[in-house]
């Protein structure tokens, strides 16, 4: 009976955290003069329209009328989320794609909260609350509530770690394959899994992680090839995603120059709410610097090293592309890695970083609803 009570308490706290996030998002939307609150009108921003277009019409790829030798269309965005939106809309009165898009996103976030509660079986209530709070307040977490695939990407990222740490082949295969289809940066996870596999084999890791990391990479590679096949079937080009993304110039450029641009923006916006974008921006770099200079990180378990590299790539790759690229969508995907890496520190350090996230969360959400936070 006591065991069941503890189970119920864990999952109840996860559901309560999810509800608190929805309530907070609702009031911040109203505070931002988006009076509909949790209505899709407030939660459909930026690329949401492209996902809705895919849900309605499928993928398209056409030459850009105003840009020679460039390609336009919605083929640069991954298919799994919009198809989930389309399928779920059949269950909604009126078949509203808009409502379906946010409900599907919320379901991914709820699943993530429940999975964290499951992963922390046997841990203290303090540890559970801290991990749930990271999901609530991590940089970019406002996107988990919006019409984006980030909440489901979060879920499969957590599932991949859960599978690798608990040596569950089912979780590894499902999560690794789904990550290729749910968000357009799936190829980054493919590269990360290759590095983890190669490193585990190079040091002759005696644990099951050596075998499972190889299976994770194989699963991701098979799924990625299937995705290329899907793109060829729907657009006539196997690399349609990269053809469309090339239009935006998303390639590594001059990160130091961009850091100077962000520093200038911080100084220029110091008296206004937009300063929180840059304050959190430099806070993330400070954390990455902290990781890079800590010897225990490099002497720890392979999954901790994997987490450090994942957080670095999810932040640094888009950062080096442009000073205006959507940094905080990728930063949101770093939430599981924030958990794992901060767990290497004392509780004082963990709660200090959580306080920092909490101070920035409200203003960042307001900026999202005002269509300022990209």
In tens, the pLDDT along 53-92 reads 999 999 999 998 888 888 999 998 999 999 999 999 999 8
DSSP track, 14-60: HHHHHHHHHHHHHHHHHHTT-TTTTSHHHH--TTHHHHHHHHHH---
Which residues lie across from 63 on neighbouring strands?
Answer: 71
Which residues lie across from 72 on neighbouring strands?
Answer: 62
The whole-number average pLDDT for the span 36-52 is: 90
Predicted confidence band at 187 (pLDDT cuts at 50, 70, 90)?
confident
Which tokens go with 361?
């969360």
The whole-number average pLDDT for the span 46-59 is: 93
pLDDT of residue 3: 44
Contact 154, 179 (CB under 8 A): no
The whole-number average pLDDT for the span 275-294 is: 78
Dihedral (CA of 85, 86, 88, 90) sign: positive
Which tokens go with 122?
């046997």
pLDDT, tens only, 217-266: 999 999 999 999 999 999 999 988 888 877 776 666 666 777 788 788 88
Q: How confident is the prediction for the chain on average, in pLDDT?
A: 86
- Give the relative orientation of helices 2-31 and 97-119 as an angle to the nearest 10 degrees: 140
Strand 62-63, strand 71-72: pairing: antiparallel
For the chain, the structural domain boundaries read 2-369
Of 201, 171, 173, 176, which Cα lies nearest the Cα of 187? 176
pLDDT, tens only, 326-374: 667 777 888 888 888 888 778 888 888 889 888 888 888 888 888 877 7
The whole-number average pLDDT for the span 30-58 is: 90
pLDDT of residue 298: 56
Cα end-to-end distance, the chain, whole Å? 48
Is the pLDDT at 152 greater than 70, yes or no? Answer: yes
Give the ranges where 144-254 is alpha helix by DSSP (H). Answer: 150-166, 169-182, 186-202, 209-235, 240-245
Weakest-pLDDT range from 46-55, 188-197, 316-325: 316-325
More reliable by pLDDT, 96 or 285: 96
CA angle 240, 244, 245 (to 5 degrees): 115
pLDDT of residue 293: 67
Overall pTM surpassing 0.85 (yes/no): yes
pLDDT of residue 292: 65
pLDDT of residue 295: 60
Contact 223, 176 (CB under 8 A): yes
The whole-number average pLDDT for the span 92-99 is: 90
More reliable by pLDDT, 270 or 176: 176
Is the pLDDT at 213 greater than 80, yes or no? Answer: yes
Q: What percent of the chain has pLDDT over 70?
A: 90
The phi, psi pair for 72, rounded to 5°, reads -120, 175
Weakest-pLDDT range from 4-18, 30-44, 80-94, 126-140: 4-18
Tell me the CA distances in angstroms from 154 to 94, 252, 307, 372, one per residue in order: 29, 24, 14, 23
More reliable by pLDDT, 110 or 253: 110
Contacts 24+ apart (CB under 8 A), 300-307: 300/344, 302/196, 302/199, 302/200, 302/205, 302/209, 302/213, 303/161, 303/164, 303/165, 303/209, 303/340, 304/340, 304/341, 304/344, 305/199, 306/192, 306/195, 306/196, 307/161, 307/336, 307/337, 307/340, 307/341
pLDDT, tens only, 295-325: 655 556 677 778 888 887 787 777 766 666 6
pLDDT of residue 80: 96
Predicted confidence band at 131 (pLDDT cuts at 50, 70, 90)?
very high
Kind and range of the H or E run holding 85? helix 80-89
């Amino acid at each position: 009976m006591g065991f069941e009570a503890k189970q119920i308490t864990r999952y109840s706290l996860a559901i309560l955290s999810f509800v608190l996030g929805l309530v907070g998002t609702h009031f911040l939307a109203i505070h931002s003069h988006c009076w509909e609150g949790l209505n899709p009108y407030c939660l459909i921003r930026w690329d949401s329209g492209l996902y809705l277009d895919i849900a309605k019409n499928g993928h398209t790829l056409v030459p850009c009328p105003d840009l020679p030798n460039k390609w336009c269309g919605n083929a640069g965005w991954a298919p799994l989320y919009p198809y989930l939106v389309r399928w779920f809309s059949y269950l909604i009165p009126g078949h509203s794609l808009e409502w379906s898009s946010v409900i599907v996103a919320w379901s991914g976030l709820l699943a993530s909260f429940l999975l964290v509660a499951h992963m922390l079986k046997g841990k203290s209530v303090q540890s559970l609350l801290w991990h749930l709070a990271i999901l609530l307040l991590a940089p970019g977490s406002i996107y988990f509530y919006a019409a984006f695939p980030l909440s489901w990407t979060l879920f499969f990222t957590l599932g991949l770690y859960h599978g690798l740490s608990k040596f569950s082949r089912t979780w590894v295969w499902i999560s690794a394959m789904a990550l290729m289809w749910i968000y357009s940066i799936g190829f980054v996870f493919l590269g990360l899994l290759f590095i983890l596999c190669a490193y585990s084999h190079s040091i002759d890791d005696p644990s099951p992680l050596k075998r499972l990391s190889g299976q994770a990479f194989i699963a991701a590679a098979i799924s990625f090839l299937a995705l290329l096949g899907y793109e060829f079937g729907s657009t006539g080009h196997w690399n349609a995603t990269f053809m469309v993304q090339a239009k935006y110039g998303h390639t590594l450029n001059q990160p130091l120059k961009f850091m100077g641009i962000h520093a200038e923006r911080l100084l220029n916006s110091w008296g206004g709410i937009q300063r929180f974008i840059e304050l959190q921006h430099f806070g993330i770099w400070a954390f990455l610097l902290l990781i890079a200079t800590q010897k225990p990180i490099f002497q720890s378990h392979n999954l901790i090293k994997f987490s450090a590299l994942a957080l670095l790539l999810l932040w640094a790759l888009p950062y080096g592309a442009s000073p205006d690229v959507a940094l905080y969508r990728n930063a949101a995907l770093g939430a599981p890695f924030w958990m794992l890496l901060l767990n290497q520190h004392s509780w004082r350090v963990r709660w200090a970083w959580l306080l920092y996230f909490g101070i920035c969360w409200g203003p960042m959400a307001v900026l999202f609803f005002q269509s300022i936070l990209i």
